[in-house]
Amino acid sequence: MSEFDIINKYFAARAKNRPDVRVGIGDDAAVVQPAPGSELVITTDTLIAGVHFPETTLPYDIGHKALAVNLSDLAAMGATPAWVTLALTLPQESADWIKSFCDGFFTLADRYSVQLIGGDLTRGPLSITVQALGYAPIGKALLRSGAKPTDLIYVTGTLGDAGLGLRFLQQGITLDVSYQPWILERLNRPEPRIMAGEILRFLASAAIDISDGLAADLGHILESSHAGALIYPDQLPLSEASTCTLAPAEAITLALTAGDDYELCFTLPAELRGTLERLPSFPCRLTCIGEITRQPGLELRYQNGNPYHGPIFGYQHF
């Protein structure tokens, strides 16, 4: 098949038809109409085979994750996703691979009413670049720079699960068979916290998604907000799979450093704690793990007062 045959059969035919897309796939560029009273929120991520996912990863999972990591960035901004572009570089044409990739990509896209509006297809080493575009009410997008001293620090979900899955695949650690499907899904098919982000844009003071490890990503909030933080490692939310597989100290280290969880880390004015925790239908687990401080830097201390001395460095891109 030619480039355009592939685009028409596997991508254009499966793209949703949102009413705010005037021109989608098929022209030199797309034309979209943002909702009145909103501003655009735009993010881009690239995934490289052997760097951002193991070479053996199923194409369905690659398609899901390539989109999920971008939707997660929008969630961290409190944005509602709407449109995406996809630049796909393939080493060879494989109808089965492309179909499975598209199944993963569009299953997630359809869940959040996201339309593919354009992109590029070329030959070369396997890489996927997705640009995701969403919108938020004017002035309501969450930033990294809004944290203030005495704000509480929260995370969604559980931490360290994707890192545990990667250790299982690459190091062959013993993992009970009952945990394996769920842990591998946490690694390969992360769920972007879109609905949580849409709620938090009216409550949180700052937010980021956890892609490189909690300590590293929280550090970006602290740097942008010119603040410090006190974190209680024994308050970190850990899954049953993690606590039953790893020693306590190792599970905590993984939660702090492993990354790829794509949970949200956010700060909240202390006076809004009751408001947040009384919400009747927050879409996922929430855990308060510490607070923002005036003293710059990240301090980690157990609730009994003992300092944490383990690793805190997360994934390094270079």
Residues 112-161 have pLDDT tens digits of 999 999 999 999 999 999 999 999 999 999 999 999 999 999 999 999 99
Give a yes or no: residue 72 inside a domain.
yes
Q: Are residues 28 and 105 in the same domain?
A: yes
Give a yes or no: residue 282 inside a domain.
yes
Q: Are residues 127 and 265 in the same domain?
A: no
Q: What CATH number does residue 249 fall under?
A: 3.90.650.10
SS3 of residue 44 by DSSP: strand
Binding site membership for ATP: which residues?
Answer: 119-120, 144, 211
- 3-state percent breakdown (helix, strand, coil) of the chain, nearest 5: 35, 25, 40
Query: Which H or E element spans position 32?
Result: strand 31-32
Give a yes or no: residue 310 inside a domain.
no
The residue-averaged pLDDT of 168-175 equals 92
Does the pLDDT of residue 213 top 60, yes or no?
Answer: yes
Using the 3D structure, point to which of 90, 109, 137 is the last residue of a domain: 137
Please state, rounded to an integer, the average pLDDT across all residues of the chain. Answer: 94
Q: Are residues 203 and 249 in the same domain?
A: yes
The residue-averaged pLDDT of 204-227 equals 97
Q: Which domain holds residue 231?
A: 152-300
Span of 4-8, 25-29, 141-145 with lowest mean pLDDT: 4-8
Binding site membership for substrate: which residues?
Answer: 52, 260, 315
Please state, in angstroms and rounded to a whole number, the distance separating the CA atoms of residues 167 and 179: 13
Q: Are residues 180 and 95 in the same domain?
A: no
Please state, in angstroms and rounded to a whole number, the distance separating the CA atoms of residues 80 and 135: 5
Please state, in angstroms and rounded to a whole number, the distance separating the CA atoms of residues 87 and 129: 5
Binding site membership for Mg(2+): which residues?
Answer: 28, 43-45, 73, 120, 209, 212
Q: Are residues 21 and 110 in the same domain?
A: yes
Closest CA to 198 of 150, 264, 291: 264
Binding site membership: which residues?
Answer: 28, 43-45, 52, 73, 119-120, 144, 209, 211-212, 260, 315
Q: What CATH number does residue 44 fall under?
A: 3.30.1330.10
Residue 318 has a pLDDT of: 42
Does the pLDDT of residue 245 top 50, yes or no?
Answer: yes
Does the pLDDT of residue 317 top 60, yes or no?
Answer: no
Residue 315: pLDDT band by 50, 70, 90 thresholds? low
Domain count, the chain: 2
Residue 270 carries which DSSP code? G
Residue 112 carries which DSSP code? T
